């Protein structure tokens, strides 16, 4: 068994997560983090990383950010968590603020509103397509499809509040998932 790598400096942690934050957009961030932290730098072992990934996935918030905080904390405590978090979020936050400022300047130009509407429609379509793909692979039997249709009708057609529908649907879904 190889000897564990020495603890990285706070600067090294920040730089690794800065690079990940600049290169990764959307999903797949945990794969980037695993490659850098486990394979390239050997800062932690596979088992430790997988445990942290599981924890990051069940904790509220974005998995990549949660995982960065876990890795930073594991490596160097609270200061490591802060270094990883700042590294991970610095460039994306600056990019979002810059895009927001740009949009504020151009939103009244003719043609911008239809473009933004199209971008919104594309994003909705991508989410629906992803949901359908996941549904095909993970939902079996008639009961989940009936529950899905009932939820869609309750919210989309009847206009019932989301929270009320979920309060009713969650116990029904759990009942339908019993062995």
- Would you kindly state where each structural domain of the chain is located, as residue ranges? 10-106, 112-176
How would residue 4 be classed by pLDDT, with cut points 50, 70 and 90?
A: low
pTM of the model: 0.63
Q: Which residues 6+ apart lie within 8 Å of 135 measured at CB?
A: 148
Report the distance separating Cα 139 and Cα 75, nearest Å: 39
Residue 119, classified by CB atoms within 10 Å of its CB into exposed (0-12), middle (13-18) or buried (19+), is: exposed
Tokens at residue 87, please? Answer: 């590294």
pLDDT value of position 160: 95
Q: What is the DSSP code (8-state) at residue 37?
A: I
pLDDT value of position 13: 98
Kindly report, residue by residue over 57-88, the tens digit of the pLDDT.
899 988 999 999 999 999 999 999 999 999 99
Report the distance separating Cα 83 and Cα 80, nearest Å: 5
The SS3 of residue 71 is helix
The answer to whether residues 165 and 154 touch, using CB atoms and an 8 Å cutoff, is yes
- Asked whether the predicted pLDDT for residue 102 surpasses 90, the reply is yes
Q: Dmax of the chain from CA atoms?
A: 64
Nearest Cα residue to 66 out of 32, 13, 30? 30
pLDDT value of position 26: 63
pLDDT value of position 112: 92
Tokens at residue 136, please? Answer: 């095909």
Report the distance separating Cα 70 and Cα 63, nearest Å: 10
User: For the ranges 52-66, 95-109, 133-147, 156-170, which has the lowest average pLDDT?
Assistant: 133-147
Tokens at residue 43, please? Answer: 């800062």
Kindly report, residue by residue over 12-68, the tens digit of the pLDDT.
999 999 999 998 766 678 888 999 999 999 999 999 999 999 999 899 988 999 999
């Amino acid at each position: 068994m190889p000897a564990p790598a020495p603890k990285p400096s706070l600067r090294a942690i920040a730089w690794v997560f800065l690079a990940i934050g600049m290169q990764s957009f959307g999903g797949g961030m945990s794969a980037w983090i695993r490659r850098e932290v486990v394979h390239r730098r050997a800062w932690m072992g596979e088992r430790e990383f997988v445990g942290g990934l599981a924890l990051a996935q069940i904790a509220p918030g974005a998995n990549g950010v949660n995982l960065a905080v876990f890795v930073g904390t594991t490596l160097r405590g609270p200061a490591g968590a802060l270094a990883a978090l700042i590294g991970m979020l610095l460039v994306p936050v600056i990019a979002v603020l810059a895009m927001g400022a740009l949009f504020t300047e151009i939103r009244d130009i003719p043609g911008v509103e239809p473009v933004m509407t199209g971008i919104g429609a594309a994003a909705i379509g991508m989410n629906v397509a992803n949901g359908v793909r996941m549904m095909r692979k993970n939902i079996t039997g008639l009961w989940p499809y009936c529950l899905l249709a009932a939820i869609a009708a309750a919210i989309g057609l009847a206009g019932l509040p989301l929270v009320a529908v979920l309060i009713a649907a969650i116990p029904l879904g759990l009942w339908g998932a019993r062995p």
